[in-house]
Amino acid sequence: MRVEPPDEQLSDRERFGLRVEISVVLLVTFGLSGISAGLSLLDSALSPGGVGGRTVALNASRSNSSLIDLLFQLVGVARLLAWAALGLYLLWRSGIGPRLIGLARIGRGDVVAGLVLAAVIGVPGLGLYLVAHALGVSVTIVPDSLSEQWWRLPVLILAAGANSVAEEVLVVAYLITRLRKLGWSENGSLLASALLRGSYHLYQGLGGGLGNIVMGIVFGRYWQRTNRLWPLILAHATIDAVAYLGYTALRGRVGWLP
């Protein structure tokens, strides 16, 4: 289901303005993250141990002070939510409210679809990571290296939710909607969205980048066909929360976890 058909009546000024808007939004959000992740992958590849010799912590302590560390974590969550708010605001300013991109009231069907998508992406994704790590083309990912504090688990859940909202709003709903406005095809806008998602996960290695491109194709196509964004947000949050909390529970207790 299309949110909005391509507008062939855009003036050159409007088309230029839309391109500038997309560029600025991506540069201050996931675009620069993609560049940084690419540089991180290059640095890992050139290091003595290669990509497989690197370890990356997704949620790491930022201070020895418990209170300051908590505030750092909450600032990170707020930053991601602000990115999502920026995309929603710009769409709203152009007449596309949250309901039109699939953020109407959440229903039981959204929850079921979200859990199915989480399983479809999460289980093979874990297998791909383990294989890529064994082959030395993936860094060792540490989903949680926060210090033992009372706020640790709530912050991990908040981080999972913030990641999912920011990525699905900006990388799927915002970007694809804006590219449609410029006249891009459904396949072209889907590919752009998936490549962007893969780019800012390159710090995980080639396996992480390719796995997230596949995730981007599945998620983007689902949204294009259903115009429901809640299932993507729920699926993404579930995948991240299971990874964060599962790592905390299984670390040191199973032999197959790097």
In a domain, 40, yes or no: yes
H helix intervals, 55-202: 66-93, 108-135, 152-167, 175-181, 186-199
For 180-214, the pLDDT digits (tens) are 999 999 999 999 999 999 999 999 888 889 999 99
Domain that holds residue 190: 12-250
**Separation CA 175–CA 214 (nearest Å):** 17
Q: Who contacts 79 (Cβ-Cβ below 8 Å, separation ≥6)?
A: none
For 69-124, the pLDDT digits (tens) are 999 999 999 999 999 999 999 999 999 999 999 999 999 999 999 999 999 999 99
In a domain, 73, yes or no: yes
Residue keyed to tokens 């289980």: 123
Contact predicate 163/154, CB 8 Å: no
In a domain, 215, yes or no: yes
- Could you tell me the pLDDT band of residue 1, with boundaries at 50, 70 and 90? very low
Across the chain, how many H-helices and E-strands are there? 9, 2
**Separation CA 162–CA 99 (nearest Å):** 19
For residue 146, the model assigns a pLDDT of 84
In a domain, 257, yes or no: no
**Separation CA 243–CA 247 (nearest Å):** 6
Asked whether the predicted pLDDT for residue 257 surpasses 80, the reply is: no
In a domain, 3, yes or no: no
In a domain, 117, yes or no: yes
For residue 5, the model assigns a pLDDT of 47
In a domain, 102, yes or no: yes
- Number of compact structural domains in the chain: 1
Q: Who contacts 36 (Cβ-Cβ below 8 Å, separation ≥6)?
A: 200, 203
| Average of per-residue pLDDT across 222-239 | 97
**Cα 203–Cα 194–Cα 26 angle in degrees, nearest 5:** 75
In a domain, 258, yes or no: no
For the CA atoms of 233, 234, 235, 239, the dihedral, rounded to the nearest 10 degrees, stands at 100
For residue 137, the model assigns a pLDDT of 82
